[in-house]
Amino acid sequence: MLKHTFLRVIAPVFFPFLLVSASANAQEDLSAHWGGTWVVEGTLFSIAVTIKDEEFKVRQIESLGFEWSSKNGSIDGNVVTVEIEYAGVTGTIQAELVDPNTAVAFAATCLPDFMVVCMLSKDRQAVFRKVAEK
């Protein structure tokens, strides 16, 4: 009985602190920062990103000779997913904003998996830096 009385008195006092602590540890929504020009760190490879009607659109600026196409992507907070096609390969690229000017991208899928580009992209990531706002 004493234990239950203790919980009834203490729980209302500490519960609000637990909520504040949990929300402070939640990841900040950076989705408003996707639009702009992005360059892969250490390269000249660059893309322009625009957001229209909640769709993520990518346009090549400097593709380093790689001819690829993409469909409009989807945004879920700090994560974007885009389907691409390149040299007979189809894949899904996922990127996550880690701060307003930095995104980390990787190939979430790549088919057919025996293609060289799929084998080379496995377990790799690219760091994109924003160089201009939309």
Distance CA(97)–CA(31), nearest Å, equals 8
Which residue has better confidence, 90 or 16?
A: 90
Tokens of 13: 């006092």
Q: What percent of the chain has pLDDT over 70?
A: 80
Q: What is the C-alpha to C-alpha distance for residues 133 and 48, in angstroms, rounded to an integer? A: 10
d(CA 5, CA 105): 52
Rounded to two decimals, what is the model's pTM? 0.75
Distance CA 41, CA 1 (A): 62
**74-93 pLDDT tens trace:** 999 899 999 999 989 999 99
Sign of CA dihedral 90, 108, 32, 76: positive
Q: What is the CATH number of domain 31-133?
A: 2.40.128
Q: What confidence score (pLDDT) does residue 34 get? A: 93
Write down the domain spans for the chain.
31-133
- Which pLDDT score, from 0 to 100, does residue 18 have? 34
